[in-house]
Amino acid sequence: MQPEAAIQPEPAPAAKALTCPSCGGSVALRAAGYTVHVACQYCSSILDVTDPQVKLVTTYSLHMAELEIPLGTRGVLRGVEWEAIGYLQRSENGMWAWEEYLLFNPYHGYRWLVKVRGGWSLGETLTVTPDWLSYDQLGVGPETYTHFFADGEAQVDYVLGEFYWRVAVGEKVATADWVRPGAMLSREQNAHEISWTRNALLSPAEMQKAFGIQPQAKIWPPLPHQPSPWGEWLKTGAMLGALAFAFLLVFAIFFGGTSWTAAGNFPVAADGREQSVTLGPIVLPHRYQSVHLRADVPQLENGWLDLDYSLVERTTQQVYEAYGAAERYSGSDSDGPWSEGSRKAEVSIASVPVGTYDLVVEYKANRWSGVSGYADAVSWMDPANAPVVQVEVRRGAVYASNLLIALFLIAAPLLLALIWHIAFETARKSESDFATSDEDDDE
């Protein structure tokens, strides 16, 4: 029994040369057996190569286009080697021109290399019809596309190379496009057929590697299927930012500090003279801590209390000081009763080192004479009110303000990226036939 012969792929169609009946030039046929029409590279005449005699379809004396990718050039795109065999210039009835290269590989068939405003896409004709998901959305497998360009009309303005159909300058098809980030779904329709092509956006690096195309400057406004450079990163960045902030929050909870404890009470003199009291000792156990002081003056009304705090370390006599004032005012005017200020005043002293401290409070009570210039008949400082000051203390490490600053610093790059992302998406959508008036105005 003979061993089974290995299955060999079909041989690639051989390149074939023919003579242009218009100019006599030698025209290479790169996809012989598949190609129907070929445009002469010397005189741009269209030749029908299905006839052994090579019929002249149309004669053109147009200048040869200076192609970015000369026909016959081979390049590897997404793992497959393609050869550029045909070139089309197309437009929307003479406006908004774009270029299309027909690529050929004997084992993979045809693809389109489409260049629009400096951006390149690799187009593959679909063998299935997309599903309508909603009035403006189509589905192809797991991908969803949103309607971007409504019905337009594309015409062929210039032809070079060979094609698998009878291409002609002036040939027109009805077009419509749907997009998703990174891909565009294009429908082309003529009297005989409807074809669907999925155009995958190629990166400048891919085009440079495959065909040596130099990257262009920034494309603006963006292409319809160009993904926002900030969209994907925003998701990753938001996760990173949330992680960082969660860490800070846990850190702040653990090092937030102690609860308030009473440090002492002291009376307020009725004559408003300067007074002084020493409270303590206050033991601070950590290398550094913040000390928060809160004064409460329950009887305070239409007046203020100046408070000068001095934390004095018993051994080194080093002083840490802060100033606070409790102010409370009230009255009545044409709008009715009003009040402002607070009977409580809180201050903090940062970076206080370890040690045993006395808290010296110098304070002075004041009466407000009011808008009229006359003080209340009964002052809050009157001995009958028995005004006292209650001082509480707590120590800590993490300031809420530091947490807010950190949150702002973590969020700032994300906010910037979000602004850029919105600007990008607004510019991209402004090109759509379905753009809202706001997006059009932004253009």
Partner 1 sequence: MSTRTFIYALWCLGVAGLFAMGAIYAWSPFAEGSRARTHAGFYGPTHK
**Residue 415 Cβ vs partner 1, minimum distance, rounded to whole Å:** 12
Q: How far is the C-alpha of 396 from the C-alpha of 257, rounded, in Å?
A: 4
Q: Is 387 in the site for partner 1 (CB under 8 A)?
A: no
Q: How far is the CB of 299 from partner 1 (least distance, A)?
A: 17
By CB under 8 A, name the one of 21, 231, 241, 280 that touches partner 1.
Answer: 241
Per-residue contact string for residues 295-334; x = within reach of partner 1 by CB under 8 A: ---------x-x-xxx-------xxxxxxxx-x-x-----
Q: Which is nearer to partner 1, 13 or 331 (CB)?
A: 331
Decide: is 208 part of the binding site for partner 1 (CB under 8 A): no
Are the CB atoms for 72 and 86 separated by under 8 Å? no
Provide the minimum distance between the beta carbon of 191 and partner 1 in the complex, in angstroms, as a whole number.
Answer: 48
Part of the chain binding partner 1 (CB under 8 A), chosen from 22-30, 209-217, 264-272, 360-368? 360-368
Structure tokens at 158: 């210039």
Spatial distance between the Cα atoms of 364 and 307, rounded to a whole number of angstroms: 7
Find all residues with CB under 8 Å of 97, minimum gap 6, and list them: 89, 90, 91, 157
**Which region among 72-80, 86-94, 211-219, 231-239 touches partner 1 (by CB under 8 A)?**
231-239
Task: Show the binding pattern over residues 331-350: x = contacts partner 1 (CB under 8 A), - = does not.
Answer: ---------xx-----xxxx
Q: Residue 169 or 414: which CB sits closer to partner 1?
A: 414
Largest alpha-carbon pair distance within the chain?
126
Task: Output 60 or 233, the one with its CB closest to partner 1.
Answer: 233
Q: How far is the CB of 349 from partner 1 (least distance, A)?
A: 3
CB of 199 to partner 1, least distance (A): 25
* Binding residue count for partner 1, defined by CB under 8 A: 57
152 Cβ neighbours under 8 A, 6+ residues apart: 92, 174, 175, 176
Burial 141-157 (b: 16+ CB within 10 A, else e): eeeebbbbbeeeebbbb
231-254 and 400-430 helices cross at what angle (nearest 10)? 170
Among 35, 290, 379, 432, binds partner 1 (CB under 8 A): 290
d(CA 223, CA 429): 9
Pull the structure tokens for residue 290: 């913040």
- If one asks whether residue 401 binds partner 1 (CB under 8 A), the answer comes out as yes
Q: Is 435 in the site for partner 1 (CB under 8 A)?
A: no
Supply the minimum distance, in Å, between the C-beta of residue 289 and partner 1: 5
If binding is defined by CB under 8 A, does position 251 make contact with partner 1?
A: yes
Kindly tell me which of 176 and 360 has the beta carbon lying closer to partner 1: 360
List Cα–Cα distances, 318 to 49, 321, 437, in angstroms: 101, 10, 68
- CB under 8 Å, gap of 24 or more: what pairs does 89-97 form? 89/65, 89/156, 89/157, 89/158, 89/159, 90/154, 90/155, 90/156, 90/157, 91/154, 91/155, 91/157, 92/152, 92/153, 92/154, 92/155, 93/153, 93/155, 94/155, 94/157, 97/157
State the minimum distance, in angstroms, from the CB of residue 74 to partner 1.
31
Residues 307 and 286: their CA atoms lie apart, in Å, by: 26
Question: Which residues contact partner 1 (rule: CB under 8 A)?
Answer: 233, 236-237, 240-241, 243-244, 247-248, 251-252, 255, 274, 286-291, 304, 306, 308-310, 318-325, 327, 329, 340-341, 347-352, 364, 366, 368, 396-399, 401-403, 405-406, 409-410, 413
